[in-house]
Amino acid sequence: MQPNTLLDAILDEAGISHAGLAAHVNQAGRRRGLALRYEHTAVARWLKGQRPRGQVPDLICEVLAARLHRPVTLDDIGLGVPGRPGTTSTGTLSGFVERATALWRSDEQQRPHVLGAPAVTGTPAVMPVWEWENPPEDTDVSRGGRHRVTAADIETLRAARAHYEQMYRKAGGIATRARIVGFLNAEAAPLLRGSYTDATGRQLHRATGGLVAVAGICAYDSDAHGLAQRYFHQALRLAKASGDRGLGAYVIALLVNQSLFMREFRQAVAFAEAALRTAGRHITPALASDLYAMQAKAYAHLGDAGSALACIRRAESAAERIRRGHEPDETGYVQPGLVNVQVAEALLSLGELAAAREHAAAAVDNPAHDRGRVHRLAMLSTIELRQGNAEKAVVTAVQMAEQARGMESQRLRDRLRAVREHLARCGSPGTTEAAELIDGALRVPL
């Protein structure tokens, strides 16, 4: 189940509490001869994604319509049924915009049923990727609204994406997410509901898609995996509306990374293949190298050494073709050394320690943004410990802890804890100092 953010948003607009809605639904039901006994807990379940039974969805519409003095449909409250009359707008781009902006609003308001929602698996996880790959395409994304969207508006969104990406890299996703979600609500949502031609609309959806992808990265970095997944799915839909296949492939790379974290290794392989196949010539060398490297990690975890090594070769070949200045802004994260650290992780899973250390050391020797350097040092320290080289591992771990200080990132905390546990098991001289430094970095409040 996914949280019903449309119902949440319209309840907020109507100024009605969970208990108030339950009471009004019970009252409306009595007028139809129904003996209903709903309480606020039932409304909480509806907001989490449970569909009310029988006539209750229609009763909710009736109650809210009377409160708002305007018609309210099942689509408006997120309870439309595909194929049922009056519910066809759920698949339209305008219907998507309403659902997307409702999620942003719920996130900004820190709704627990949104923040704590688990990531979906199986068909619900795969369908957004399938829909991106396959027809129908958006033939016209123009829209009529009160505010005319200009080139300056779109440039503002692009600049904001770059700003929040840099903030994420320096401070972490936990500190950045509230800011980017506030910007989506205040600036991006009104533009999506504005007036624009098809050409301007495609630029608008592309710029917004880039922003939403960064919001998803920040949610992922905050351990809000269900929320992150919904942002990635939104960014994929916006990419399709923009007509930019390369942007869609970049978003799928983010889904691949999340799949790896959730240990959905076959899904990671399939998603990467979908991006490479569907985007085709629109995939840049930087993005191709990252997708192949992540596939290598997935295959390594699955124990398929042959496929992992083949993907490593493809990743290295693509990395050699990267031309700085010829890549879109979104693939700027594929910095020199990134493929090395990805390959090191795959080789570590395969038990190839010497080759893994060579790649990890090469990654550390290349410049990287702050959080990227922490990840690289963590990987190198882990490999050195696995090799039995405790002295070098301690030196590397000290550098990692000093670099991580002040960052608010759940993923970095995971890395720090993992290295600390390895050091504790090692028990060699110098590990106490390194462990204390790591503890200091972990004491940063999240």
Confidence at residue 187, expressed as pLDDT on a 0 to 100 scale: 97
- pLDDT tens digits, one per residue of 393-428: 888 988 998 888 888 889 988 988 888 888 877 766
| CA distances (Å), origin 363, targets 55, 250, 343, 360 | 60, 22, 10, 5
Kindly report the CA angle at 72 between 68 and 74, in degrees rounded to 5? 145
Q: Is residue 341 part of a domain?
A: no
Confidence at residue 9, expressed as pLDDT on a 0 to 100 scale: 87
Tokens standing for residue 236 = 């994929």
Question: Which of 90, 118, 143 finishes a domain?
Answer: 90
Burial class (CB in 10 A: 0-12, 13-18, 19+), 28: buried
- pLDDT tens digits, one per residue of 205-247: 999 999 999 999 999 999 999 999 999 999 999 999 999 999 9
**90 has pLDDT over 90:** no
Q: Looking at the structure, do residues 78 and 158 belong to the same domain, yes or no?
A: no
Q: Looking at the structure, do residues 77 and 27 belong to the same domain, yes or no?
A: yes
Q: Looking at the structure, do residues 160 and 211 belong to the same domain, yes or no?
A: yes
Q: Where are the alpha helices (DSSP H) in 285-352?
A: 285-301, 305-320, 338-349
Confidence at residue 84, expressed as pLDDT on a 0 to 100 scale: 46
Q: Is residue 32 part of a domain?
A: yes
- pLDDT tens digits, one per residue of 308-346: 999 999 999 999 999 988 999 999 999 999 999 999 999
Confidence at residue 221, expressed as pLDDT on a 0 to 100 scale: 95
CA distance 293 to 106: 35
Indicate the number of domains in the chain.
3
Q: Looking at the structure, do residues 86 and 97 belong to the same domain, yes or no?
A: no
263: three-class secondary structure by DSSP? coil
The residue that leads in pLDDT, 155 or 389, is: 155
Question: Which of 243, 261, 288 finishes a domain?
Answer: 243
Q: Is the pTM of this model over 0.85?
A: yes
Q: Looking at the structure, do residues 136 and 170 belong to the same domain, yes or no?
A: yes
Q: Looking at the structure, do residues 128 and 176 belong to the same domain, yes or no?
A: yes
CA distance 399 to 244: 40
- pLDDT tens digits, one per residue of 171-195: 999 999 999 999 999 999 999 999 9
Question: Which of 30, 58, 90 finishes a domain?
Answer: 90
Q: Looking at the structure, do residues 80 and 111 belong to the same domain, yes or no?
A: no
Q: Is residue 163 part of a domain?
A: yes
State the pLDDT confidence band at 86, using cuts at 50, 70 and 90.
very low
Q: Quick check: 251 and 237 in contact, CB under 8 A? A: no
Q: Looking at the structure, do residues 212 and 239 belong to the same domain, yes or no?
A: yes
The torsion angle over the Cα atoms of residues 304, 306, 307 and 311, rounded to 10 degrees, is: 130
**89 has pLDDT over 70:** no
Confidence at residue 87, expressed as pLDDT on a 0 to 100 scale: 36
Q: Is residue 266 part of a domain?
A: no
**Residue listed under structure tokens 């957004």:** 128
CB atoms within 10 A of CB 441: 21
Looking at the chain, the whole-number percentage of residues with pLDDT higher than 90 is: 72
Q: Is residue 421 part of a domain?
A: yes
Q: Looking at the structure, do residues 108 and 236 belong to the same domain, yes or no?
A: yes
Q: Quick check: 57 and 79 in contact, CB under 8 A? A: yes
Q: Is residue 352 part of a domain?
A: no
Q: Looking at the structure, do residues 108 and 235 belong to the same domain, yes or no?
A: yes
Q: Which residues span the domain enclosing 85?
A: 5-90
Peptide bond before residue 82 is cis, with ω within 30 degrees of 0: no
Average pLDDT over residues 55-67: 92
Q: Quick check: 406 and 380 in contact, CB under 8 A? A: no
Mean pLDDT of the chain: 91
